[in-house]
Amino acid sequence: MTFGRLLTAMVSPFDPSDGKLDLDQAKRLAMALFDSGTEGLVVCGTTGESPTLSNHEKLALLEATLEVAHARGGAVIAGTTTYNTAESIELSREAAHLGVDGILGTVPYYNNPPQEGLFQHFSAIARAAEVPMVLYNIPSRSPRNMEAATTLRLAREVPNIVGVKEASANFKQIGEIIRDAPDGFRVWSGNDADIVTMMALGGYGVVSVAAHLVGRQIAEMMQAFVDGDPSRAAEIHHRLMPLVDALFVTSSPIPLKYALNKVGMQVGNTRLPLVPIDPKSQAIMDAALAATRVDLPVPVPA
């Protein structure tokens, strides 16, 4: 399973009336994402508000999205890891039993393990789950950067660790990983703004937030780069940047959920401690949407 170049970190739809997980709408959203260029879904990640989902909800959401993804020939990578290694092993095994194609190994937050702790944490989870793992380095949401040496050690020593989602924006570090990783080890950008730069270094693709709205355009941008047309890729990149910036004008996925609701794909509100979008951020998001051709197919009102 190569997972594909364009993976979308999917939001978790909640019922706007009671805040409960809306599995039917999750299926509709998953289908729309595949229809607009997504090749695989990262489910129960940060964009999916994983810290607010119970393990029962996570497994239900994974089961629902697996049904759609496998019918479309796509993949589901499950966000099953936290700062608790034992709990991460248990949830990863349950997700593997459901049939997920991989798991996302997010650098632990709050307890701030050293590099050796990161190595042992991910090694233990990957070996126990026995499905492919994609590491996830995101220093902005955890106190610890996973250094290139640790990522490369995991890539070399744990056979089912197959790639990394790199959101550090440290291109020296990212370049070292791409240069020195074993054959077949993939590096996906964790930031929509970094896709072209990452691919210029030899990166493979992206785990995207913006692909909820402009998936076909992101796919076109990456294909232009692969086809040897970096000018075309840069042109699309610059056109999409106002939208990308707007999606992170306040804590993600607040702007994204607002945007999806506005274009007709109802996904409900964010759960506390995230709150509805503030007026200033809403105005920025509205302006970006007005200037953007949205790719996502949404239900036509009766």
Q: Is 165 a catalytic site residue?
A: yes
pLDDT digits (tens, 9 = 90+) for 178-211: 999 999 999 999 999 999 999 999 999 999 999 9
Please state whether 112 falls in left (phi above 0), alpha (psi between -120 and 50) or beta.
left
Q: Choose, from 58, 83, 109, 165, the residue flagged as catalytic.
A: 165
Mention every residue, 6+ apart, whose C-beta is less than 8 A from residue 160: 126, 127, 129, 130, 131, 132, 133
Q: What is the pLDDT of residues 64-122, one digit of tens each?
A: 999 999 999 999 999 999 999 999 999 999 999 999 999 999 999 999 999 999 999 99
Average pLDDT over residues 9-21: 96
Say how far apart CA 85 and CA 186 lie, in whole Å: 24
Residue with tokens 């939208």: 243
Proportion of the chain above pLDDT 90, given as a percent:
97
The predicted pLDDT at position 299 comes to 65
Residue 1's pLDDT band, with cuts at 50, 70 and 90, is low
Alpha helices in 46-164 (DSSP H): 55-71, 85-98, 115-129, 148-157
| 302 band by pLDDT with thresholds 50, 70 and 90 | very low
Domain assignments of the chain as residue spans, ordered by start: 6-229
Most distant pair of Cα atoms in the chain: their distance: 57
- Marked catalytic residue, from 27, 83, 109, 136: 136
Report residue 2's pLDDT band, with 50, 70 and 90 as the boundaries. Answer: confident
The average pLDDT across 228-237 equals 98
| Residue % of the chain over a pLDDT of 70 | 98
What pLDDT is stored for residue 180 in this prediction? Answer: 98
pLDDT in tens, 121-176: 999 999 999 999 999 999 999 889 999 999 999 999 999 999 999 999 999 999 99
| Domain 6-229 part of CATH 3.20.20.70 | yes
Coil/strand/helix, residue 262? helix
Question: Active-site residue 109, yes or no?
Answer: no
